[in-house]
Structure 1
Amino acid sequence: MTPELRTTIEDAYRVFGGYRLDGALIVCNCNCCVSAESERRLIRTPLREIPYQLLAEYTDSAHGWDEIVADNMRYFLPRYFELIALNSSPFDMHIDDCLRRLAHARWRDEWPAAEAEIIDRFFQDLIVSSVRKLDLVKWPVGWRLKFDLVDVLTLIVTAHGDIGRALAAWDAADGRFARARLMGGRAVLSAFRLPRARV
């Protein structure tokens, strides 16, 4: 994690620090989603100590969207950001789907400007930090980058983040890392190519 990403996460804890659960956590309590015990743990555990497995249960919960859920989401967002940055996905599969509820929030239009800005800043700093992850793993067909940047790009798009800002941050990242990432993920750019500006 880059120092800039760490600072952004700390700033998110400050920006969203006014939100509390106060026992009003909306979850689905069916047998497949969140148990009553997990719900109690989500409410009682200090935010910075919520383990990714517990937050994954909340992420997977099949509940709807309303103002209480929006406030619940804002309460959890800094912890989501921290766990994503630490590669501890608050979702059972990959990081790309763990902030999907933001798409319902209309956060860019309806949330305070400071909250919208910290979300986009997180995505921007996450890209820059992720570009630096160049560990390799051996696959049956050869070597491949261990960390798939497509997941981060999909996370941003799914959450209705500013993909143009994120790609600009990738472009501006340290050239050695950005070039290595580009060589390892040419399909990424073609999948997320932005339309040309009209003159």
Structure 2
Amino acid sequence: MTEDLKISIETLYRTFSVYPFRNEMEVCQCCFSEADKEKLYSKHLKDLETDDLSGFAFKAMTTWGGVDDFKHFLPRIFELLAADDFTGDAFVVLEKLEYGKWKEWPEIEKDAIIGFLWVWWEDMVRSKPYFDKEAFTGIYKLTDDIDRLLDIWTIDLNDHSFSNFVDFVYSYFSDLKGKRAEFKDLDNAEIDKIINWTKANSGYFETGFFYFLDKDNELAEKASIAQFIFEHSGVRGN
């Protein structure tokens, strides 16, 4: 986790510390047991783990608690997401912001969330060896800024941004160029920007293949396949 990401998480804790924990949170008795509820009461906020928070995170504001309750736990939920310790779908958690009408929240809260999203995305493309499509589309829906998502994602053979790029093309480029089932939230203009960005970076396929051939043969082979997918997609490279 980068220093910038740590700072953004601390900003979340500081910003949302005005929302206290409520013992009397409304909860669907049919959906959650006393043991489920006790997990939230058992530790301090920063000590809660995925198992303690997952039930609440996915049901917050629908069958468990209200907006202010979600705001109380938001920093720890996002911290676990950033640490890649949160079991489940990042997209579902990010959608909770939309459900809670976060764009109507105070500016200081929106700024803290947006600041976190950008540094989290940069950390992901540099530290994860695979493309997180759920986080990518989730952040896009919240920020409506495909340009910044792509600008942040500069390719470097010395971190995971290259393997992230390879996995994106290997796993999703055919869908992007075809039925777009995985990218239904993006319109044609955003899709074109992603395709053009991929084209602009397509030279990394060959460069990365030779760079990793003796270092990581599996990644080199995947890069070769990704290059084949790209070159047969109808998009001409540089």
TM-score band (shorter)? 0.7 to 0.9
**CA shift in 2, pair 1:117/1:3, >3 Å:** same
Q: Which residue of 2 aligns with 1:80?
A: 77
Q: Which residue of 2 aligns with 1:69?
A: 66
Percent identity between the two aligned chains = 23
**Shift of the alpha carbon at 1:134?**
4.6
Partner of 2:219: none
Any conservation in 2 of the 1:42–1:50 contact (CA below 8 Å)? yes
1:105 is aligned to 100
Q: Which has the larger radius of gyration?
A: 2
RMSD across aligned positions (CA): 2.8
- Does residue 1:133 correspond to 2:127, yes or no? yes
* Distance of 1:170 and 1:4 partners within structure 2: 19
Query: Could you state the TM-score of these two structures normalised by the residue count of structure 1?
Result: 0.75
The residue correspondences of 1:29-40 to structure 2 (distance < 5 A) are 29-30=29-30, 33-40=31-38
Match of 1:56 among 54, 57, 65: 54
Q: Name structure 2 gaps, 5 residues minimum.
A: 177-182, 191-238
The 1:13–1:75 alpha-carbon spacing in structure 2 relative to 1, beyond 3 Å, is: same
SS in 2 for 1:119: helix
Could you tell me how far apart the structure 1 residues matched to 2:152 and 2:81 are? 22
Q: 1:95-148 CA deviation, whole Å, 9 max, x = no partner? A: 22123222222111x21001111111111111100101353xxxxxxxxx3xx3
Deviations 1:167-197 (A, max 9, x none): 5144234431545433321337943655549
After TM superposition, the runs of 4+ consecutive aligned structure 1 residues lying more than 6 A away are none
Query: Structure 2 counterpart of 1:155, which letter?
Result: G
- Length-normalised TM-score, structure 2: 0.64
Q: Whole-Å Cα distance in 2 between the matches of residues 18 and 134 of structure 1?
A: 33
Which structure dedicates a bigger proportion of its chain to strand? 1
Name structure 1 gaps, 5 residues minimum: 136-144
Instruction: Tell whether the 8 Å contact from 2:9 to 2:116 is kept in structure 1 after alignment.
Output: yes
Confirm or deny: 8 A CA contact 2:57 2:77 kept in the other structure: no
For 1:52-78, what per-residue CA distance to the aligned partner results, in whole angstroms no more than 9, with x for missing partners? Answer: 011111124386289x61001100110
Number of matched residues?
Answer: 177
Instruction: Indicate yes or no: 2:118 matched with 1:124.
Output: yes
2: CA distance, partners of 1:61 / 1:106: 15
The residue matched to 1:21 in structure 2 has which SS?
A: coil
